[in-house]
Chain A
Amino acid sequence: MSLDDIKETFFAECADQMAELETGLHEIQSSGPDMDTVNAVFRAVHSIKGGAGAFGYNALVSFAHVFENALDVIRNDLSQVNETRMDLLLRSVDVLSDVIEAERTGAEPQDNAALAGELEASFGLGDAEEAAEEDDALADFAPVMIDLGDLGVGDAPSGHSFRISFMPHASLYLKGHDPLRLFRELAEMGTLSVTCDSAELPKLSELTPDEAYLKWQVDIETDRSREDIEAVFDWVDGECALSIEETGAPAMDDGVDLDAFLQTLDETEPGADIDDFGQDPEPEAEEPKNPVADLIGSLEAADIGAPATVAAGADEPQEQVVDPAIVQAVAAAGQRAEKKEVKKASQTIRVESEKVDRLINLMGELVINQAMLAERIGQAGFGNASPAALALVELQNLTREIQSGVMAIRAQPVKPVFMRMSRIIREVCAATGKKAMLELEGEHTEVDTTVIEGLIDPLTHMIRNAVDHGIEDPETREAKGKPVQGTVRLSAYHSSGRIVIEIRDDGAGINRERVLDKAMEKGIVARDAKLSDDDIDNLIFAPGFSTAEAITDVSGRGVGMDVVRQSIQSLGGRVNISSDPGNGSLFSMSLPLTLAVLDGMIVKEADQTLVLPVSAVLETATLKPGDVYTVGRNSRVVKMRNQLIPIIDVGSQLGFAEPRSDYTRGTIMVVEGGKNGMGAFVVDSIEGQQQVVIKSLESNYKRVPSIAAATILGNGQIALILDCDHIVSHQAEDPGAPIIQSMAG
């Protein structure tokens, strides 16, 4: 593992910690602080700081440090949470994320001193006494001596001396930490004297091998700050009892000579190359360490000349400790404990997405080959009940299972994307002076990562819009009797094989009059058009439409909602809006769970094999002559279940054939086309139903209207997958004419 790899891991972990942090703060904001959440949040920042320290990312360390201290105030007194402070903390998350990004890319981190200063001011970090007053037990963490001007970079006055009392818990050894390493690091800072206190060491007969009994008192004379000393113990925070006191007095002179002490430890260390430890920031990556070895080392060290009182019985067990059999047994116990730890850690694994992608591609080939096999078996004349056909069914079931298993690997909760949106809201609020908060629901809903990636941009845009155009400014809200703070609710759920994502705001809703005026002004809709409320709402998706009076720097970036609609459609999804004037709007997106396979209905039309997503097909039927009605000059509709559904001649619509004169010969498929309602597609025949692998046309060609993608059939031929929404909305329309004219007419 090279250093770059380790850094990569660090930044991946940072991302996890940031997610944890943001989730936690959100929880605190929405349901008030509780100790567990606050601790989790604190831990996240602390881990980031610790890791950053190991790599020497000073800017990150110093900001994380202030952040951490601020959180510590809350950790010590939950009632310290208030709105201003939460706001400050949330903004700090954004800055922290920026600083991490800057460190990752090697860019110059933005100046964050202002926010750091605000944090300090708001949380009273500058005032040591106040901090101490808040909670005395805090002594370990209260940043008593910090000079906030130069955090962590340590230009502190020289000549401190500190007394550190350090009592490792057993967990410290279990995690592979080594006190020796800590002492070495301290020794680099100044003059050190270490005293081992083995008073708590029981008789060997009472000794539990994986318990920790030793503690050390370290006196150090150094020109470094207390900060630096604390930083040494960052990695073992929570794994030991630690106190650092500043002492004016000179160092104790009755301590063990450090060199001798270290040497003894070295000699008794079984085979571990201690010098390497400092270079590896990942404890897991270290060779399994045996706590007992440390114990033995310490015992001997204690024997060598520590003034500490070695328990009366200690001389006797000393001999037995040397007995190799016992040492071995004890060591084995230690290693068992170690293994347990490792097992727990491997419950999740990080896999490069490339590997998963390859698996998914292979799975696609498998599906195609299976279809090929099915075709061959059919051609060979085996009946449906023949052993060959039954074996094929078995294979098909297995393939399906493998497929859903593989897809599950790539499925991710939408949460990270949702969390990102809270930052967007904060930014928009800051830019517009509005007040809004984000509520999440169903953020654990899982969907394929490719869908998630494609979601980020449209979602960002819609969230911006919701606040910028939807939520009113605080005064207006107050006047209307609404809560001053607006709410944007982002929710996700699964529904019939798709994921539905909704954005609901409690703002003003769509101003239909203004939208209609604007649309007429821009020529998107005819002056005399009669539009339903729904049609008007959906005008905002029309190309070239932007409602904002003046283009703000928030939503107006030259792209409108039509781009949002397009990008959702390119994911095979659709987006609808419904609005309740005065009470807000609801944007609802429905997306496929995966972009790799779909259940397809295979149809023949005009000598072409076409595929329709099964999810879009509502029913199929054949027509009798009396079922078809002519409306207007050229449009025909079919009456089914008391509904009039426009007939769409797929072959002629795609330009594959002349318009047919007789609809009764073909098969009708009633297809759902999103907001554009239903369409009755006429095709020559239905061939069957089959899973198809979605292959992009764009990768080698370009997007083709009315076509969602392509697939490869069992005979090796390519079949096109129809974009039902597009076909329904563009029926009988002159090429290039705006959508809305057909809707209006």
Chain B
Amino acid sequence: MQDEHEQTTVGGEEFIAFRVGDQEFCVEITSTREIRGWSQATRLPHSPEYIVGVINLRGTILPIMDLSARLGMGSSTPSERHVIIVVQVGEKTVGLLVDSVSDILDVGPDHLRPVPEVSPSMASEMFRRVIVMDKRIICEICLDAITPDMELQAA
């Protein structure tokens, strides 16, 4: 297979995998801006439960989303151990609060599957694809889907 990317070796896509609760999820590495430790956020009034608050990212106001709460897995209590993955969603920059970063994956097309039909409680529209590798099953977060009301309000 022809490899046009400089850094990839297998010729697949690269993802950052992270843990939320006892599950693994990932986002495309191209939408990731940086990974940083937890710092105390300023709470926002009148906001959904999964918005932890805002932090100062070198002079810009960065909203932090508790991914666990967003995915319906219960709110997490942020601590020093938590990690913020700063991602770009359209024009906006958002921080995702996760338990830990677990891996950087280089995934070939044969490991990428469409999202299977799962129970509606675990809103499947929040995922784009599923990576099946060895014994791991990692859902790729659909960034546009987890930030819908932010997009709507911006219009």
Q: Which residues of A contact B (CB under 8 A)?
A: 361, 364-365, 368, 608-609, 654-656, 695-707, 710, 712, 716-720
Contact = CB atoms under 8 A, between A and B. Distances in A.
Nearest to A727: B45
Contacts of B46: 654-655, 704-706
A716 B39 CA distance: 11
B154 interface: yes
**Number of chain B interface residues as a range:** 20 to 34
Contact of B45 (A365, A368, A609, A656): A656
Closest 7 CB pairs of A and B: A702-B153, A654-B45, A701-B63, A718-B42, A700-B92, A705-B46, A710-B61
Interface stretch (B2-10, B52-60, B102-110, B137-145): B52-60
Nearest to B93: A700
A702 B149 contact: yes
Interface in B20-55: 40-47, 51, 54-55
Contact of A697 (B55, B61, B93): B61
Given A710-B54, A718-B55, A701 B61 contact: yes
B56 A704 contact: no
20 contacts: A655-B45, A655-B46, A695-B59, A695-B60, A697-B54, A698-B154, A699-B92, A700-B61, A700-B62, A702-B153, A704-B45, A704-B46, A706-B46, A707-B44, A710-B54, A712-B59, A718-B41, A718-B54, A718-B61, A720-B42
B150 A701 contact: yes
Contacts of A707: 44-45
B56 A712 contact: yes
A712 B59 CA distance: 7
Contacts of A655: 45-46
B59 A701 contact: no
Nearest to B51: A701
A368 B56 CA distance: 12
A699 B63 CA distance: 10
A361 B59 CA distance: 9
Nearest to B41: A718
A734 to B, nearest CB: 13
Given A365-B59, A698-B154, A710-B61, A704 B44 contact: yes
Contacts of B41: 718
Interface of B: 40-47, 51, 54-56, 59-63, 92-94, 149-150, 153-154
Overall SS of chain A's interface: loop
A361 B58 CA distance: 12
Given A717-B56, A718-B56, A699 B61 contact: yes
Contacts of B61: 695-697, 699-701, 710, 718
Contacts of B153: 698, 702-703
A702 B150 contact: yes
A696 B43 CA distance: 15
Contacts of A696: 61
A608 B43 contact: yes
A695, A700, A703, A704: most-surrounded residue (chain B CB, <10 A): A700
Nearest to B91: A699
B75 to A, nearest CB: 15
A716 B92 CA distance: 21
Contacts of B44: 697, 701, 704, 707, 720
A702 B91 CA distance: 12
Contacts of A704: 44-47
A581 B59 CA distance: 50
Contact of B94 (A608, A609, A700, A706): A700
Contacts, number: 75
Given A702-B149, A703-B153, A719 B60 contact: no
Contacts of A364: 59
Contact of A608 (B42, B47, B55, B154): B42
B45 to A, nearest CB: 4
Nearest to A712: B56
A638 B41 CA distance: 34
A706 B44 CA distance: 10
A367 to B, nearest CB: 11
A368 B59 contact: yes
B60 A699 contact: yes
B93 A656 contact: no
Contacts of A701: 44, 51, 54, 61, 63, 92, 94, 150
Nearest to A713: B56
A695 B54 CA distance: 12
A52 to B, nearest CB: 38
Contacts of B59: 361, 364-365, 368, 695, 712
Given A695-B60, A701-B150, A705-B45, 5 more contacts: A609-B42, A656-B43, A702-B153, A717-B42, A718-B55
Contacts of A365: 59
A681 to B, nearest CB: 14
B129 to A, nearest CB: 26
A611 to B, nearest CB: 11
Nearest to B53: A718
A697 B40 CA distance: 17
Contacts of B62: 700
A696 B149 CA distance: 17
Contacts of B51: 701
A701 B45 CA distance: 13
A703, A706, A717: most-surrounded residue (chain B CB, <10 A): A717
A296 to B, nearest CB: 62
Contacts of B154: 698, 702
A703 B153 CA distance: 7
A593 B54 CA distance: 27
Contacts of B149: 702
A654 B54 CA distance: 15
Contacts of B63: 697, 700-701
